[in-house]
Amino acid sequence: MGRKIGQVLAMFIVLAGIGMILGCGAKPEQEVRLGVNAELTGSKPTVGDSCKKAMELLAEQINQQGGLKVGERRLPLRLYIEDNEDKAESAAAAAQKLISQNNVLAIIGPNASGNAIPAARICEDSSVIMISPWSTNPKTTEGKKQVFRACFIDDFQGQVMAKFARQHLKADTAAVLYDVASEYNKGIAEYFKQFFEADGGKVVAFTSYTTGDKDFSSQLTTIKAAAPQVLFLPNYYNEVPLQVRQARHQGLTCAIIGSDSWGSQELLTLGGADLEGSYFSTHYAPDIATPKAQEFIKAYEAKYGKKPDDVAALTYDAGQLLCQAITRAGVLDRVKVRDTLAQITEFEGVTGKMTFKGGGDPVKSAVILLIQNGQFKYFASVQP
Amino acid sequence: MLLYHQMALALQYLLNALQLGSVYALIALGYSMVYGILTMINFAHGDIFMVGAYLAMWASLFLLGLPGQLPTVVIFLGSLLFTMTLTACLGVSIERLAYRPLRQAPKVSAVITALGVGLFLENFTLATIGPEPRQVPAIFPVQQYSWGGVAFTNVQVFILLVALFLMILLDFLVRRTLTGMAMRAVSSNRVVVPLMGVPVDRIISLTFAIGSAIAGAGGLLYGLAYPVLDPYMGIRIGWWAFIAAVVGGIGNIRGAVLGGYVLGAVEIFTPVLLASSTYRDSVAFSLLLILLIFKPTGLLGRPTVEKV
């Protein structure tokens, strides 16, 4: 008797399972499912937070208009947000989960290159579109069909800062301190060195540390002994304040410059007065915002009560770019959307005009910001 | 002239090593004391240090925010007392709740529990305070000095002195007081000593209290030198302090201090000698391996005979 009940139960479970699979398959496409793979915890939580907030803002705006236009219909946008803990392996796992469990059409993120590169591999292998808002390392999109980004890449950025150091700061000698364990930092440090030396300068100290280090006094003493005219710190906003502080305490008085990983308000809260007079390259400057950017800044401020940083702006651009491709493709089909996305050559975003010349990397300009009176100030624009 | 320049540079590195070594030494003490008394490695110790750094941040923020400027000494001592008291309570509670029930269990259980407690502290901090890095306020303004090409700050000197004072105080406590004698007695034989009327449980609690309080003080000093805190900061420093304790001879208090300074020197001098800090962690851990091959008990540890 007991066995019979067991058999009946087992039958039920199997049938229910089949029913569920069929049910899912037969369900019409009611919504546009997008994944967000963001650094919500770990060492750069502000990055993940901005990415999540910008996507939520975009989804809210689109859903208020009745949804995203796909063919004849308007479908609501639904976000699946995953935390990648700012770890390479978790970023890959998050991408995997978004694809296999949530069956998303495309993924926005990860942002940091160290996370974006492994996640990009997963997306490429599963033929799912991925757009990284903030990953500037060339390896993210290299040799991939499915992976795009909304930002410039590091060889351009390295060149911008090398040129800036040579021409504006009139530096003949430079020193670099970078995180050797992080793809982004390592990549841009090497590009900077290459372009600075090609431009006739000399890199007198090229020193590294490992993610999570808090004491840089040893490297900075070595740098001080080499007496550079400029110090380049292509590191993330949570580490730069300690580096600058220790550099000043070691008696280094030279100019300090950085890259787009500086562009978070956290940098100013953590760094304070030590950062005054430093320059860094980034994606956009709120003080020279175009009407489109102003609209975004206003909406973001109204919703969250703070100014959007560059990650938020780039995420918003990545999201809009994707939505445009979906609308143009007219169907929720990964292959068709990818092909449409690859055909978009010009896109006017919050962070300026992007031109895609085949491949996933846009050509766009960079801005250089100056830290003055505890604020980011627009200093110059550099065209590619 | 060149020689003089080189000497100044070497002195600069040495000073940096001393500052870092002081923090490692303070944390290594806790590892060593607990091991000495329980032959157990308290892997949650690095996270107690992290909690201490956060507590110190709040205490100094509160005291700095009070109306009417308090004297710097009051702010510092107030923060220090608050931090040390609360981390001591934390250490005692952890021992009471997590380790004491396992005292008769195999040692592996206690070590795994300690790792679990460490993860709990990290994730509890992450969940309640959030992952954003926090800035520690400056208790006193930083003054920079330069003396013969060697740059240093009042914060550095202050850290060195306070750490040294705490270490001497602890050494005195363990070697010259009755409580210290009881601690040493419990660590040398946990079976016979209770028969002589020594309250073993209370001595163990006290050891945890002192070890954690010193880690808390370490957290405060660390925050002064490296004023950016995050919930994971205890992991790396905890590991380095643990190696320091083993290098010095785990269970030996003076050994822990020595090990702390040795590790500080390894961290500072490896990038100098190898012209890259990529190999720094490998050097530290290789040092540990080599030392353990030739001197399994550490620099100052004494070999013990396993009693049957």
The pLDDT value given to residue A13:
58
Domain parsing of chain A, residue ranges = 32-151+289-364, 155-282
Phi, psi of A49 (to 5 degrees): -65, -45
The answer regarding whether domain A155-282 maps to CATH 3.30.410.10 reads no
Name every chain A residue with its beta carbon within 8 A of the beta carbon of B278.
Answer: 180, 208, 210
Q: Are A98 and A121 within 8 A, CB to CB? A: no
Tell me what pLDDT residue A3 has.
61
Q: Does A211 touch chain B (CB under 8 A)?
A: no
B66 vs B76: CA distance, rounded Å? 14
Give the model's pLDDT for residue A5. Answer: 61
- Mean pLDDT of all residues in chain B? 90
Nearest by CB to residue A207, choosing from B230, B233, B277, is: B277
Chain B residues close to A175, C-beta within 8 Å: none
Question: Three-class SS of residue B153?
Answer: strand
Q: Model confidence over B200-246: pLDDT tens digits?
A: 999 999 999 999 999 999 999 999 999 999 999 999 999 999 999 99
A238 touches chain B (CB under 8 A): yes
Q: What is the rounded average pLDDT of the residues B58-85?
A: 92
Task: State yes or no: pLDDT of A335 exceeds 50.
Answer: yes
Tell me chain A's radius of gyration from C-alpha atoms: 23
Q: Average pLDDT of A87-104?
A: 94
Check whether A170 has a pLDDT greater than 50.
yes
Q: Which of A156, A160, A161, A198 is nearest to A176 (CA)?
A: A161
Contact call for residues A115 and A137 (beta carbons, < 8 A): no
Report residue A15's pLDDT band, with 50, 70 and 90 as the boundaries. low
State whether A45 and B19 contact (CB < 8 Å). Answer: no
Sign of CA dihedral B11, B12, B18, B21: negative
Q: Which residues of A touch B282 (CB under 8 A)?
A: none
Residue from the list A43, A225, A249 with its beta carbon closest to the beta carbon of B9: A225
Contact residues for B222 (Cβ-Cβ < 8 A; gap 6+): B23, B49, B53, B237
Residue B44 has pLDDT above 90, yes or no: yes
**Residues in chain A within 8 Å Cβ distance of B235:** 212
Other Cβ atoms closer than 10 A to B224: 24
Q: Do A41 and B278 touch (CB under 8 A)?
A: no
Q: Which of B163, B120, B119, B161 shows the shortest CA–CA distance to B28?
A: B163
Q: How many CB atoms lie within 10 A of CB B188?
A: 12
CA distance between the termini of chain A: 79
- Kindly state the average pLDDT of the residues A330-335: 92
As a whole number, mean pLDDT of residues A140-164 equals 93
Residue A100: CB atoms within 10 A of its CB come to 12
3-state secondary structure of B303: coil
With a CB cutoff of 8 Å and minimum separation 6, the contacts of B17 are: B261, B264, B265, B267, B268, B269
Our CA-based measurement puts residue B94 at a distance from the nearest CA of chain A, in whole angstroms, of: 25
Angle in degrees, CA B97, B102, B104, rounded to 5 = 145
* Spatial separation of the C-alpha atoms in residues A202 and A149, rounded to whole Å: 32
CA distances from B264 to A262, A296, A376, B18, B280 (A): 29, 49, 37, 7, 11
ipTM: 0.85
A32-151+289-364 and A155-282 in the same fold = yes
Q: How many CB pairs below 8 Å do chains A and B form together? A: 91
Give the separation between CA B296 and CA B257, rounded to whole angstroms.
18
- Selection from A208, A135, A176, A31 nearest residue B276 by Cα: A208
pLDDT at position A340 over 70: yes
Q: How confident is the model at residue B74 (pLDDT cuts 50, 70, 90)?
A: very high
**Cα(A263)–Cα(A266) distance, integer angstroms:** 8
Decide if A260 contacts A280 (C-beta within 8 A): yes
Question: Which of these ranges, A72-86, A95-109, B142-156, has the smallest mean pLDDT?
Answer: B142-156
A295: left (phi over 0), alpha (psi -120 to 50) or beta: alpha
Interatomic CA distance for residues B135 and B293, integer angstroms: 42
Q: Which of A230, A218, A349, A233 is nearest to A295 (CA)?
A: A349
B37-62 b/e (C-beta count within 10 Å ≥ 16 → b) = bbebbbbbbbbbbbbbbbbbbbbbee
CATH code for the domain defined by A32-151+289-364 = 3.40.50.2300
pTM: 0.84
A251 contacts in chain B (CB < 8 Å): 144, 146, 151
pLDDT band at B269 (very low <50, low <70, confident <90, very high): confident
Strands A366-372 and A375-382: antiparallel
Residue B267 with chain A: CB contacts under 8 Å: 215, 218
Between CA A154 and CA A166 the distance in angstroms is 18
The total number of residues written for chain A in this structure? 384
- Determine the residue of chain A that is closest to B281 in CA distance: A210
Q: Residue B148 above 50 pLDDT?
A: yes
CB-based contacts of A157, cutoff 8 Å, min separation 6: A136, A188, A191, A259, A260, A281, A366
Note whether A238 contacts B230, CB cutoff 8 Å.
yes
B146 neighbourhood in chain A, CB within 8 Å: 251
So what's the pLDDT on residue A383? 84
Give B6→chain A minimum CA distance, Å: 9
Domains of chain B (ranges plus CATH)?
16-294 (1.10.3470)
- A151 — pLDDT class (breaks 50, 70, 90): very high
Which comes out higher in pLDDT, residue A255 or B190? A255
Task: Quote the tokens at residue A252.
Answer: 């280094």
Nearest by CB to residue B153, choosing from A249, A269, A272, is A249
Q: Which residues pair with B145 in a beta bridge?
A: B152
Judged by CB atoms closer than 8 Å, whether chains meet at B280 and A210 is answered as yes
Answer whether B19 sits within 8 Å of A210, measured CB to CB. Answer: no
Residues of A in contact with B153 (CB under 8 A): 249
What single-letter DSSP state applies at residue B138? Answer: P
Residue B228 Cα, gap to closest chain A Cα (Å): 7
Residue A311 confidence (pLDDT): 94
Q: Report pLDDT digits (tens) over A281-308.
A: 999 888 888 899 999 999 999 999 998 9
Any bridge partners for residue A79, and if so which? A34
pLDDT of residue A10 exceeding 70:
no
Given a contact cutoff of 8 angstroms between Cβ atoms, the answer to whether B67 and B36 are in contact is no
pLDDT at B6: 83
Closest CA to B53 of B209, B238, B240: B238
**φ, ψ for residue B74 (rounded to 5)?**
-65, -45
Pairing of strands B150-153, B144-147: antiparallel
HEC per residue, chain A: CHHHHHHHHHHHHHHHHHHHHHHHHHCCCCCEEEEEEECCCCCCHHHHHHHHHHHHHHHHHHHHCCCEEECCEEECEEEEEEECCCCHHHHHHHHHHHHHCCCCCEEECCCCHHHHHHHHHHHHHCCCEEEECCCCCHHHCCCCCCEEECCCCHHHHHHHHHHHHHHCCCCCEEEEEEECCCHHHHHHHHHHHHHHHHCCCEEEEEEEECCCCCCCHHHHHHHHHHCCCEEEECCCCCCHHHHHHHHHHCCCCCEEEECHHHCCHHHHHHHHHHHCCCEEEECCCHHHCCHHHHHHHHHHHHHHCCCCCHHHHHHHHHHHHHHHHHHHHCCCCHHHHHHHHHHCCEEEECCEEEEECCCCCEECCEEEEEEECCEEEEEEEECC
Residue of B nearest to A209 (CA): B277
Q: What is the pLDDT of residue B304?
A: 60
- Tell me which residues of chain B have a C-beta less than 8 Å from any C-beta of chain A: 9, 12-13, 16, 19-20, 126, 130-133, 135, 142, 144, 146, 151, 153, 156, 226-228, 230, 232-233, 235-237, 267-272, 276-278, 280-281
